[in-house]
Amino acid sequence: MKRASMTVIAATIAALFAAPAPAQAQAQAQTKRPNIVIILGDDLGYADMGSFGSEIKTPNLDALANDGVRFTNFYTHATSSPTRSMLLTGVDTHRNGMGNMDEFTAPNQRGVPGYEGYLNDQVVTLPQLLKAAGYHTYMAGKWHLGKAPNLIPAARGFERDFTLLDGAGSYWDMTNFTAASPKSVFTEDGRYLKELPKDYYATKTYTDKLISFIDANHGDGKPFFAYVSHQAPHDPLHLPPEWRNRHVGEYDKGWDAVRQERLKRQIELGIMPAGTKLAERMWFLPDPIVLAPAARAIMGKKMELYAGMVENLDHHVGRLINHLKEIGEYENTIFLVFGDNGAEGTDLLKMIAGSPGSRDFLFAAINWSQTDPNAWGEPGSYPSYGPMWAQVSMTPFSQYKGWMAEGGVRNGLIVSGPLVKRQKGSINHGVMHVADIVPTMLEVAGTTYPESKDGKKLPPLIGKSWGPVLAGKADSPRTDTDYLAWEVFGNHAVRQGEWKIRWQYKPFGTESWELFNLANDPSERKNLAAERPDKVKAMVALWDQYARDNNVILPSRSMFETMEDTMPPRVPDDEGYPPLIYKKQFVPPADMTADPKP
């Protein structure tokens, strides 16, 4: 008994010396590097989350906003793969391989370095750098940056993945859009899948897979980087039956009323300044008031489906968050939430299918044949919500995806987690950019961007760290002399301070430089180019410098080149014009009415 007691005492003393003191344990916990989770919504609009003014119910995303900070001046690119290329490399699109989307590379851009249509071998990716720094690296969702074995996520730094390599597709199966490429391509852990899991639904499956990746290595002491690149809410608007009827009749009031309601909430929340006006309703869209009730109901049903997709996305984000809480990782996780570009206002299926009698038109008629509104959301259906609702998603901005108006390149950003020292639930108006993510996350990981790779000098990062902003020591990572620039499909723009110039194809643009003061006119209603030629000249000089530095080659062909010929002429949007269709039935005074005399 005495020997046993001495053994217990000795073991206890040894344990006390082996265990860190409370202060030491706390210091170790504080020095543990945080996990990083990027939640990317595909075509998720600026105003689609509740915390940015939406009526759509997004409690899980809003909880991240209330626990962190919202950024109102965050910029992506105008389309999907260019944004993703900068998110993962921090390098300008014209140098990282995405000078144009692979689907629309112009004849004069083919074979030119920087226009490969996939992430080229001149860049290093964020997951590669984080993996080298001791992070686990996981991806689930849409890739859209190359399909060859040397281009897939497993070859670009992700140790685990479940990935749609294409830009879009069915949420239920492998059905793709064209006869030339009828089947979507997926990888799992670097292997190309022959088929999908039996219970596959994109948003659910991506979340399931990511949770399984995290669990497989949980407890080994290493932090993780998770890129949750959701397909939702990109069309087709596919979702389970129980999510399709959550907003029945809610959008029959029409797009103008919903935009006005969202702007009112944005001003109340502090997202937009008092006095902000809505951008003009696009000239080819009707005032919903003049539509017949049945037509408004059908158009409203499309928005009902879209809202259901956003809520379903939020639900699965909530599953991930709750799981991280259950395994004790939530408090040590940085979350970044945003959409990859403006909302989608183009009818993609119509554009891809083309003319009756064509191969792709026949493919669409066979594979996307469920056109009855009662079948929308099912496999084989292809509902999209159109330009009217895309403008709602981008409230209060002008235009949408593919264009250089604010509605094409501006998005809502939420950042939460241990990196954020600003007041919880606060709003910041500093100018932020998607390319800032790489330098910011490298700082978080305690590593740096290398000067070279395999003996080749790497292109420079174009972003700026958010560290001082998130710490509350600065309001913006940029000064008024810094500038941002974009180009895709030939549309191009520059923002410096509160000023912005843009050049766009007709009919959305003027095919000349337009100038806007975003501080006074975030909706870009008033072109100041004629009033301020000096400012236009100075900013065009910035564009010229950007184009030279990044080998920008404006395309010889653009996806918008015939649009002006196929759309009605552009006219102003003046409320109540023409009066003819707004004048109600004249009702004479009751005391002056009479029956006809015999």
Cα–Cα distance for residue pair 235/218, rounded to 1 Å: 35
Strand-strand pairing, 499-503 and 136-142? unpaired
Query: 186 near 193, Cβ under 8 Å?
Result: yes
At 19 the pLDDT is 39
- Cis preceding-peptide flag for 507 (omega within 30 of 0): yes
Per-residue DSSP letters for 37-54? EEEEETT--TT-SGGGT-
The pLDDT tens digits for 288-345 are: 999 999 999 999 999 999 999 999 999 999 999 999 999 999 999 999 999 999 999 9
Mean pLDDT of 483-505: 98
CA angle 497, 500, 501 (to 5 degrees): 145
Handedness of CA 545, 554, 404, 86 (dihedral sign): negative
Q: Which pair of structure tokens corresponds to residue 364?
A: 């669409």
Within 150-249, residue ranges assigned H as helices are 202-217
Looking at residue 39, what is its pLDDT?
98
Query: Where does 6-92+122-482 sit in CATH, by number?
Result: 3.40.720.10
Q: pLDDT by residue (tens digit) across 515-548?
A: 999 999 999 999 999 999 999 999 999 999 999 9
Looking at the predicted structure, is the pLDDT value of residue 261 above 70?
Answer: yes
Lowest-pLDDT range, 23-27, 128-132, 192-196, 500-504?
23-27
User: Do residues 485 and 546 touch, judged by C-beta distance below 8 A?
Assistant: yes
| Average pLDDT taken over every residue of the chain | 94
Question: Is 77:488 a contact under the CB 8 Å cutoff?
Answer: yes
pLDDT tens across 186-202, in order?
999 999 999 999 999 99
Confidence band of 575 (pLDDT split at 50, 70, 90): confident
Which burial class, exposed, middle or buried, applies to 549 when counting CB atoms under 10 A from its CB (0-12, 13-18, 19+)? middle
Domains in the chain: boundaries: 6-92+122-482
pLDDT at 24: 39
Burial annotation 98-116 (CB, 10 A radius, 16+ → b, else e): bbbbbebbbeebeeeebbb
Mean pLDDT of 458-483: 97
Whether the ω angle into residue 578 lies within 30 degrees of 0, i.e. cis, is yes
Q: Where are the alpha helices (DSSP H) in 422-490?
A: 437-445, 467-470
